[in-house]
Each structure stands twice: as C-alpha cells, then as structure tokens.
Structure 1
Amino acid sequence: MIAQLRSLTHRWTHLVPVLAVVLLAFTWGRDLPGAVVALVSLVLAGAVLAAVHHAEVVAHRVGEPFGSLVLAVAVTIIEVALIVTLMVDGGGKSSTLARDTVFAAVMIACNGIVGLCLIVASLRHGTAVFNPEGTGAALATVATLATLSLVLPTFTTSAPGPEFSGVQLTFAAVSSLILYGLFVATQTVRHRDYFLPVTRQGEAITMEDHAQAPSARTTWISLGLLGLALIGVVGLAKGVSPTIESGVEAAGLHQAVVGVIIALLVLLPETIAALRAARRDRVQTSLNLALGSAMASIGLTVPAVALASIWLSGPLVLGLYPSHMLLLALTVVVSSLTVVPGRATLLQGGVHVVIFAAYLELAINP
C-alpha cells in the first residue's frame, strides 16, 4: 500500500508540471471564461505542490543550507516575473504593486511562516530549537534591506511622494544585491554551520544524519521538472490575475490586496516546506526558508523592478504607509527577542501569528 502511494505521488508530481506548461501554451494571451479560470487555478495549485516536491528532492541531494537557498531563489523568480509582468500590463494603477508584494512577502515570511512553524514545532516537540547566530544574521539582513528599500523612500525629498530618485533607486538596487550576495556567501561558504539544523543539545545536524540522498539522475530530473513547474506557475498566475484584480475591485478592497494574493501564492511552496521541516524538528531549516525568502524577495525583486522601471511608464512607489512601518518595526523587535535565546515556545509563535493577522486586517481595512 505504501509503495502504491509513493508511486502515485511520483506520477502526479511528474505529470502536473508538464500539464501546466501545456495548458499555459493554450491559454497564453487569451481572455479566459469562468470554467477555464477554475481549471487553470486547479492546475496552478497542483504545479505549486509539485514545485515543493521537486525542490525538496533537490534540497535533500545538496543538503542544508543549500537546499533552503534553492527553494528561496525559485519562488523569488516567480515573484519577480509576476510583478514585472503585471506592472507592464497594469499601467499607472500598478505603481505600488512592487511595494505591496515585497512587503507582503516580508510579513508573510517573518510572521506568518515563522509563527506557524514555531507553533507546530512547539506543539509537537515542546520547544522549537534553532541556531541564534545564523538566524540572527538573516534577520539583521532582512531588517536592513526592508529599511533601505521600503522605509527610506517615505522620507527622501529628491523626488515627490514616497519614491526614490533615479540615483537613490540605483543605490538601493545595488545595495540589495550586495547584501544578498554577502548573506549567500556567509550561509553557504564561510559560516555554513550556523545555518544547519541543531539537536536539542545544540549540535549541528549534518547530511549524514539524514536518510539516503536521491541519485544524481533523480536530482537532475527533479531540477528540470522544478523549472517546468515554476514556468507553469508564473504563466498560469498571469492568466488568472485579471480575474483576481477584477474580483478585488468588485469587492471594494484596497489595491494592496492584489500584492498580498501574489505573495501568498508564490510563498506557498516555502510555507509547505517550512511546516514539514518544523514537524521533523528541523526548525533551523524552517527559519532558513522563511527569512531566506523574505531576504530574496527584497534583494532580488527591488533590483529587478529598478531595472524594469527604465522602460515602464508611470511612477514606482516603494515607500510604506506609517501603519506598515509601525508593523515592520514591531516585527523586527519581536523577531529579535524570538531569535536571541535560540529556542522558542508556543507563545512566541502565537505573537508572530497575531502580528501577521494584524497586517492582513490592515490590508483589507486600511
């Protein structure tokens, strides 16, 4: 029975990415009726789950912290592609889309994913244990990137409104790339042990402690199918985005809700993978995924949007509202207090989830 279930999982995770690309070829650039939108949404969800499976196969082969980096970069590619594509099609009304999506990704990752993982690990294992040195470095990088890219534009005076001037935007983009590159070098080369899962005694868990890694052939197949799944997710999400935007407008919701929906979609693979790691008492892996995706969301998206702004018409608004800056400051303070001890309880997880709920409330009712 178990063998049959594994065979079924193997089949659908191989078929869905191909189906997503085929469906994308037939629906690209067309107005989709309701029934087709429902079908596309179903395949889109399947492609996201398949992407999670294949990313985990690759991650198991390369080990931590490289595995977390694979998924973080993969979902950020989806986010960048969606933002730039929608900004090209959206005109002036999409001037805040990059800001809304990036900030949503930060709040989802630092509060939603982190909070849920701490709750899952605490309920299952008593306390959540992780390495404060690696997690603290990741949190400091996220806080710096968010401040430079999303807070400073509100206070600069070289351009009208919460926008950067051309020189300031270039500085923010280059700084984001440098900080992200430095973090990746720290995580994967110089201080790799800071980002490995730890035992209850604080000892790093290496690859030898895991089950046998997949073969090179299986890994390459999964890497190719991961690429197909990501292409399918980006293309199909673009196809249903007009329906999402019209639905948000018809419901009388703030335009920022579109950014929240995009961020929730692209971070779904990270969320599933992080929760699975938390259930296995690999909370450090969960935090690598959460903070790594928040960091990649800013560090890669802002430079990409800055480059795209050369040919995009209309302003590029990056500065946050005062209420959002307050939530960001609260997130940084609470996250710092969570990280310092190197272990967390159900209470810390609940605090992060409540902050995330407050963000969602303000997104719907600003």
Structure 2
Amino acid sequence: MRIASDFLSRHAYTLTCWLVWLAFILAPSLDPHRIGLGWTAAIALGVFAAMLGCVFTVVRHADHLADMLGEPLGTLVLTLSATAIEVSLMLMIMLTGQQNPTLLRDTVFATLMVLLNGLVGLSLAAGGWRHLEQEFNLRGALSFLHLIAPLSLVLLVMPNYSRSSAGHTLAPQQEGFLGALCVLVYAGFLLLQTGRHRSLFDHPFNTQQNGFDDNLGEKPVHKIPAGPGAIARSAAGLLLSVVPIVLLAEHLGGFVDFGLETLHAPGALGGLVVSGLVLAPEGLGALRAALANRMQRAVNICLGSALSTIALTVPTVLIAASLSNHTLELGLEGIDPTLLYASLLVLLITLVSGRATILQGQAHLMLFVAYLFFIFYP
C-alpha cells in the first residue's frame, strides 16, 4: 500500500496527463468548432496545466539522469526531450489547423528570444543575486554560439534576400538543402560534444582550462554512482512523462490554432505559446542550476536548447511541410531582424567575459521585454 502511495505521489502529474488524453479519446465531441470559444479557452487552460505539471516530472527525471551521467550527457537528455515536445506540438498545430505559413518562423524566433534573452537573463540575474559572480566554461559556451549565430541568420534572415521564390520563402530545393545542412552540422557537433571535446562543456572546476580563480567558481558536482537499473528507471520515467505531452500536443494545438483564428491575434503570439510550453523544462532546469551555483549546466541548457531548435526542429518541420505541400515563410519581418542581431551581439559580449553577473542578466531581460512589447505593438 505504501509503495503504491509513493508511486502515485511521484507520478501524479504523468498519470493526470494520461487520463486527460484518455478523456479526449473517449469524448471526440470536444471539438473547438462545436463547443465555442469560451469552453475552448477553459479546456485549453486545463490541458496546458496538465501538460505543464508533466513537464515538471520530465525535469525531475532529467535532473536524476544528469547527476548519474554527468555533463554534457545529462543536459543533452533534457534538450532532446524538449525538442521532441516542440516538434510534435508544432506539427500538430500546422497539420490540424488552417494554412499558417509563419508558424515555424514565429516559433523558432520566439524560442530564440525566450532562451537567449529570457532564460539566459533570468539565470544570470538569479545566480548573480545569490552568488555575486559565477564561472562557466568560456570555450564551450562560444562553441554553441559559433553554430547558433550562422544557422539562425541563414534560416531567419537569408530567405528575405533569396530570389528563387517570392516573398519571405525558400524554394523546395533550398529548404531541402538547409534542412540537410542543419542535421549534418548538429550531428557533427554532438559527436564532438560527447566525445573528443567533451571537456569544453563540463564545469570549469573539472577542466581547469579557463585560467580563472576557482574561489568564485561552481562547487564541484560529481556523478552519482548508479547502475544500469537506476539509469533505466529514470529514462523510462522520463519517456513515460514525455509521451503524454506529445499526445496531448495534437489537442492543444487545435485549441490554440482555433483561438488565434477566432480572435485574429498576432501570429507571433502562437509561436510564443508553443515555445513557452516547450521551454518550461529547460527554464526550470536552468534556473535551478543557476541558483545552485552550477552556471555551466544553465549555460548548457539554454544554449543547447537554442541550437537544437535551429538544427533539429527546423529541418523536421521543413521536411513535413514539403511532404504536405505546406508553404512556409521563414524570413523575419519588421523589427524582428534587429532584435535577433542585438540578441546575438549581447550574448557574445556576455560569453566572452567567462563570468556571469546580475548586470549581464539585466541586458538580456531588457531585450526580452522589448520582444514581448513589440508582439502587440509592432
């Protein structure tokens, strides 16, 4: 009896998500076009809350795996789990609603703004407030930026200047080339990150390559000895928590798409909703790591998630769009390119210092607030 009680307490959110999904299967009449906007909003909030609770369970299992596997493998598990959620949610919104050619662009841009400004700024500010100054592995952080900057500019800015197709789009041949290029580049990066250059993404106190005084650095974090059984149990728990989020993504996607179409809301708001749910695990994980004086893990989470969005989510959606004859607009419009340039520049200035303070966090949070403001007042 006690074992069953402990199991239910640890997996309550996961069980709730599975029950909500089962309710949708047994009650197919919960169609937003039938029940109206009011009930749609109420049900969507309930589904979002259930998925968010399941996200917290994903974070807990990912933290356990991170402690057992060490960096960067532990963070990579969390990143790939969130990427699976992002891809599924985006595909469901794209395939179940009307033609939404800017969904991919808006979601990727929102993800970059949330990660590079919102979460990075919050982590720097929270960690700086508690610990004054924190270290991270400079060379590893710059390795992320070396790929984030060119890939984001190629995917989000270059389509505005392409002459092979009209508007802010790319020709099918260009989409295929960029999708394959992103996957190949990311595969090579993962091989280096988990292999010969793994030390660049580990904590500074372990590598001793930054040349900084360790008095202000992170506290040593050692892997927790664990057998294959413990790792398998945590991995199974994470998988069982991710799957209902992916399954509920179809239903939440239909509600979000219906709400945006009915209210004639800004298209960028849909991208922000998608990225907000997807990035909840990373946001919680990065903030907890920064408060625990583990800034390297926070950096790996934020920048690793940004890179996976560019290098995995985009190719997947590009391929799905081409197979379903779905037109995609990738080029940023209005002030968005300026916000992207400013974000990459400020991030570079932050990373080259090799240390994290609350002042740097304020600069990133300023850009994030500006992004939120210009969604409604472009």
Normalized against structure 2, the TM-score is what? 0.88
Q: Which runs of 5+ in 2 are unaligned?
A: 206-211
The equivalent residue for 1:23 is 20
What residue is the counterpart of 1:112 in the other structure? 118
Query: Is 1:118–1:345's contact at 8 Å kept on the other side of the alignment?
Result: yes
Give me the whole-angstrom Cα distance separating, in 2, the residues matched to 1:338 and 1:317.
31
Among 177, 187, 204, which residue is 1:198 paired with? 204
Q: Which stretch has the larger CA shift, 8-17 or 295-304?
A: 8-17
> Which of 140, 144, 149 matches 1:138?
144
Structure 1 residues 205-240: Cα deviation after superposition (integer angstroms, max 9, x where no partner): 999843734543232122112112112112223323
Which secondary structure state, in structure 2, belongs to the residue aligned with residue 309 of structure 1?
Answer: helix
Quote how far apart the aligned CAs of 1:159 are.
0.5
1:364 matches 2:343:
no
CA deviation string 1:91-124 (max 9, x = no partner): 32x1111111111111111111111111111111
Counterpart residue number, 1:158: 164
CA RMSD of aligned residues (A): 2.5
Cα pair distance change 1:166/1:207, threshold 3 Å: farther
Q: Name the aligned partner's letter for residue 14 of structure 1.
A: H
Q: Quick check: 356-365 or 136-145, which moved more?
A: 356-365
Amino acid at match of 1:24: W
In 2, Cα distance between equivalents of 1:222 and 1:26: 27
What letter is aligned with 1:41?
A: F
Q: Name the aligned partner's letter for residue 259 of structure 1.
A: G
CA separation of 1:236 and 1:148: change in aligned 2, threshold 3 A: same
Residue 185 (structure 2) aligns with: 179
- Asked whether the 8 Å contact 1:196–1:206 carries over to 2, the reply is no
1:338–1:362 Cα change, 3 Å: same
What is the number of residues matched between the two proteins?
360
For 1:280 and 1:132, locate their aligned partners in 2 and report how far apart those are by CA, in whole Å: 19
Asked if the contact 2:92/2:249 (under 8 Å) is kept, the reply is no
| Matched-pair contact (CA < 8 Å) for 1:130–1:198 | yes
Distance in 1, matches of 2:214 and 2:354, equals: 9
The answer to whether the 8 Å contact 2:218/2:294 transfers is no
Partner of 1:59: 66
**Equivalent residues of 1:60, 1:214 under 8 A apart:** no
1:263 CA displacement: 0.3
SS of the residue aligned with 2:98?
helix
Q: Which runs of 5+ in 1 are unaligned?
A: none
- Amino acid of the structure 1 residue aligned with 2:123: C
- Give the equivalent residue in structure 2 for 1:272: 284
Aligned residue in 2 for 1:332: 344
Write the mapping of 1:33-112 to structure 2, written as runs, cut at 5 A: 34=39, 36-92=43-99, 94-112=100-118
Aligned partners of 1:18 and 1:228 also within 8 Å? no
Structure 1 SS opposite 2:157: helix
Is residue 2:244 matched to residue 1:232?
yes
Residue number in structure 1 paired with 2:306: 294
The range that moved more, 106-115 or 35-44, is 35-44
**For residues 43 and 172 of structure 2, what CA distance do their matches in structure 1 show?**
42
Whole-angstrom distance in 2 between the partners of 1:133 and 1:110: 17
Tell me the equivalent position of 1:257: 269
Say if 1:130 and 1:342, in contact at 8 Å, map to a contact too: yes
Are the structure 2 counterparts of residues 226 and 44 from structure 1 closer, same or farther at C-alpha, using a change threshold of 3 Å? same
For the residue of structure 2 that corresponds to 1:160, the secondary structure is: coil
Structure-1 residue corresponding to 2:361: 349
**Which range is displaced more, 70-79 or 223-232?**
223-232
Counterpart-to-counterpart distance in 1, 2:330 and 2:316: 13
User: What is the DSSP-based 3-state SS (H/G/I as helix, E as strand, rest coil) of the residue aligned with 2:146?
Assistant: helix
User: Do the aligned partners of residues 22 and 54 (structure 1) sit closer, same or farther apart at CA in structure 2, a change above 3 Å counting?
Assistant: same
What is the TM-score normalised by the length of structure 1? 0.91
Which position in structure 2 is the counterpart of 1:305? 317
Post-superposition offset of 1:198: 2.2
